Amino acid sequence: MEKVAVVLIRNDRRLHDHEGLALSQSFDRYLVLAMLPPQWDEPSRIAPARKSFIQSSINAFAKGLGPIPLHFTRTTELLLEHLSKIFEVTLIAEAQGAEEEDQELRRFKDTPLHLTRPNTIFDRPELSPTFTPFRKKLEKFAKASIPGERVFLDPERALDLPEYRFQRFEVPTLATVGESNARARVAHYLESNLESYSETRNYLEAQDASSRFSNFLANGEISVRWIYQEILRRDPDNWLALELLWREFFWQHGATFILPSRGRNVSGWEKKLSHPLAQAIHNELTATGYISNRSRQILASYLIYEVGLDWKIGGAFYEAHLHDYDVFVNWGNWQYIAGVKFDPRGGRRFNLDLQQEKYDPEGTYIRKWAES
């Protein structure tokens, strides 16, 4: 009986540094299978614009595969049952470590599963409860993982099941998704803007003020190991490398808490956004699916300390709307701002008048978004 690898594509839509796809080439045959997030059918968890963003990312991955067929189904168990009658099947998936994603894999308990390492810079580094000791240990003792090369898939051994073949989602093609766009963005930013990152990173709004790598990292369209290596090669002390270590910190810690219960009535809080800066940030997020890191911290602080909102409800709002939603970064930052975890100072409360004076002194940002 031939051995077949079924590579589950979740938040790892890339060909460079993809251990699962590389491993599949050691099997007799292989099949590439795209999956949607397990929260897909919960409207309160993924807003329509974020759904469209994810679908556009899957379209881009399918295009990047070239002659290799991408498969897609909402009934993965039936597909595996069908294949198991003909082949010796092994599932391959990139480890993600999030509770709901892990639970989804347990649905396929009758099929052997091989997990590859997650999209992180380091392999199981020593953890610390706060960021600074974690960073210092990494810099002193840890060695960053080396990113893998581009995987070249053998079209002759690719399975093609017409009844499960992916059909392109009817959504707009976006420049903020896809591996080719991701690598082009990294090349452009590191060449043109890396030196100024520490000066511009807190701007509320500007295309090149921040790297904008987060969209591509959230979809797994680019390897964080590769980005980190490219930054260090140019400027080992650059602040952008430090920001990637913050991502690493949250990823290595994982997300351990209970989400707001399904069906809980959490409406009405948006009417309490009395400060124009908070209203503007809220409006930009719901309109575009993106806000700067500074804006995320400002709005989170305002919701927690001024509105009195449960931080988990705020985190769920970001989850629904942020196109670059990352389970560990999102929830880790909300816990940090709320002071329930990770912050030695016990929380971060921002004075919005001072934030506005510092980052929007002319009111340009507020005028653009406050009435949107």
d(CA 160, CA 100): 29
- Predicted pLDDT at 259: 59
Question: Is residue 261 very low, low, confident or very high in pLDDT (cuts 50, 70, 90)?
Answer: very low
Question: Is residue 124 very low, low, confident or very high in pLDDT (cuts 50, 70, 90)?
Answer: confident
N residues, the chain: 372
In this structure, the dihedral spanned by the alpha carbons of residues 186, 123, 259 and 214, taken in order and rounded to 10 degrees, is 0
d(CA 187, CA 184): 5
Is the predicted pLDDT of residue 50 greater than 90, yes or no?
yes
d(CA 282, CA 285): 5
Helix (H) / strand (E) element for 361: namely: none
Q: What is the mean pLDDT of residues 123-151?
A: 93
- Predicted pLDDT at 268: 81
Question: Is residue 131 very low, low, confident or very high in pLDDT (cuts 50, 70, 90)?
Answer: very high
Is the predicted pLDDT of residue 260 greater than 60, yes or no?
no
Structure tokens at 359: 């980052």
Backbone angles phi, psi at 27, to 5 degrees: -95, 165
Q: What is the mean pLDDT of residues 110-115?
A: 96
Closest CA to 33 of 98, 100, 83: 83
3-state DSSP assignment of residue 115: strand
d(CA 229, CA 144): 8
Question: Is residue 112 very low, low, confident or very high in pLDDT (cuts 50, 70, 90)?
Answer: very high
DSSP structure class, residue 9: E
Average pLDDT of the chain, as a whole number = 93
Instruction: Supply the DSSP string of 144-177, one letter for each residue.
Output: PPPPP-B----GGGB---GGGB----SS---TTS
| pLDDT tens for each residue of 361-372 | 999 999 999 876
Q: Which residue has the higher pLDDT, 237 or 27?
A: 27
Closest CA to 334 of 306, 308, 312, 302: 312
Name 307's Cβ contacts closer than 8 Å, sequence gap at least 6.
269, 272, 273
The whole-model pTM stands at 0.94
Name 26's Cβ contacts closer than 8 Å, sequence gap at least 6.
5
Q: What is the widest separation between alpha-carbon atoms in the chain?
A: 70
DSSP structure class, residue 1: -
Q: What is the mean pLDDT of residues 29-51?
A: 95
| pLDDT tens for each residue of 166-202 | 999 999 999 999 999 999 999 999 999 999 998 888 8
- Predicted pLDDT at 209: 82
Q: Which domains are present in the chain?
A: 3-118 (3.40.50.620), 179-253 (1.25.40.80), 269-369 (1.10.579.10)
Closest CA to 371 of 267, 273, 266, 290: 273
Is the predicted pLDDT of residue 320 greater than 70, yes or no?
yes
Q: Are 243 and 256 in contact (CB under 8 A)?
A: no
- Predicted pLDDT at 121: 97
Q: Are 363 and 371 in contact (CB under 8 A)?
A: no
